[in-house]
Each structure stands twice: as structure tokens, then as C-alpha cells.
Structure 1
Amino acid sequence: MKLSRAASWFLLAFGVWSWFIWVSFVRNLWRNGSGLAFDAAGEPTAYFWVHLLLAVSSFLLGTAVGVIGLRGVLALRREARGERPE
């Protein structure tokens, strides 16, 4: 399957954006002082675990999408230079 230049760049940008957003979210979740993420004893709550699971899933999906986009961009660059595809 061959991706267009726009699709390749979009997927790559989405992967980078996903990492940026979810790293920020996890950092804020870890520092949460509202009592949602940690109880009075400092133990993680169900809210913390659910949102951590969401973040990890998004890291993995964002990485997969970004890798697909990166491979598309690299393939287009090789094609533009006239190299044979792998």
C-alpha cells in the first residue's frame, strides 16, 4: 500500500502530537493534588489506574501511527531520489 505525501505527514504528526499530549497528561495526573488520582494516604485511586491505562494505550497507538507515517515519508523520499523500494 502506498500512502500519499499528505497522509504520511499527517500520520507522523499525529504520532508526535499523541506523545506530546499524553506525556503532559500523565505528568499532570502524577502531580494531581485534587484527590482524584491519589487518596489521603497517597495511594493511587481507580481514577488514576484507568487514566494511566488510557495513556499507555494512546502511547502505543500513537507510536504505531507515527511509525506508519514515518515509513511512508521515508518511502516517498527514497522514491523521489530514484532508489528501489525495499
Structure 2
Amino acid sequence: MTLSRRAAAFLLAFGVWSWLLWPVFFRNIWVSDRSWLDGSPTAYLLVHLVIAAVSLILGTAIGVMGWRGLRVRRSARA
């Protein structure tokens, strides 16, 4: 299956967006008052850590698919 150039660019942009959004989100969760109780991480922090990690993994996979889709289309033109 070959992606259209537009679809591949969208997937790549989604991957980049994930890497711009989720580290900032996690940094904000890390400093939240609800993230720590007596120096120990709370369930709030751990759940959001898992959400951010999964989102980064999926964003990376989607971005790689987009990158590969663009590369294939570029090499097909040559």
C-alpha cells in the first residue's frame, strides 16, 4: 500500500506534534501539587506518565510511517 503525499505529510506532522506536546505536558504534570505526596509519586503522576509514554511511542511510530511514506514517494519520482 502506498500513502498519498498528503497522508504521509499528515502522519509525519502528527509525529512531530506528539514530540512537541507530550514532553511539555509531562513537565507540567511533574511539577503539579497532585503528583507528589510526602516525596512519593502519586497515582495521578504514574497514570499520566503512562499516558505520555504511550502517546510518544505511538506518535513516533506514526511519524516514522509518514517519513517512510514521503521517502517512498520521493524515490518513486526519481
TM-score scaled by structure 2? 0.95
Structure with bigger strand share is 2
Structure with bigger helix share is 2
Q: How does 1:74-85 map to 2 (within 5 A)?
A: 74-81=71-78
Percent same amino acid among aligned pairs? 51
Residue in structure 2 matched with residue 71 of structure 1 by the alignment:
68
Residue in structure 2 matched with residue 84 of structure 1 by the alignment:
none
* Deviations 1:17-43, CA, capped at 9 Å, x for gaps: 0111101111111222xx21111x121
Is 2:43 the partner of 1:55? no
Residue in structure 2 matched with residue 12 of structure 1 by the alignment:
12
**Deviation of the 1:69 alpha carbon:** 0.2
For these two proteins, the number of residue pairs brought into alignment is 78
After TM superposition, where is structure 1 displaced by more than 6 Å over at least 4 residues in a row? none
TM-score scaled by structure 1? 0.86
Question: Who wins on radius of gyration, i.e. which is larger?
Answer: 1
Residue type of the alignment partner of 2:47: V
- 1:75 and 1:19 map into 2 onto residues whose CA distance is 23
Q: What 5-or-longer segments of structure 2 have no aligned partner?
A: none
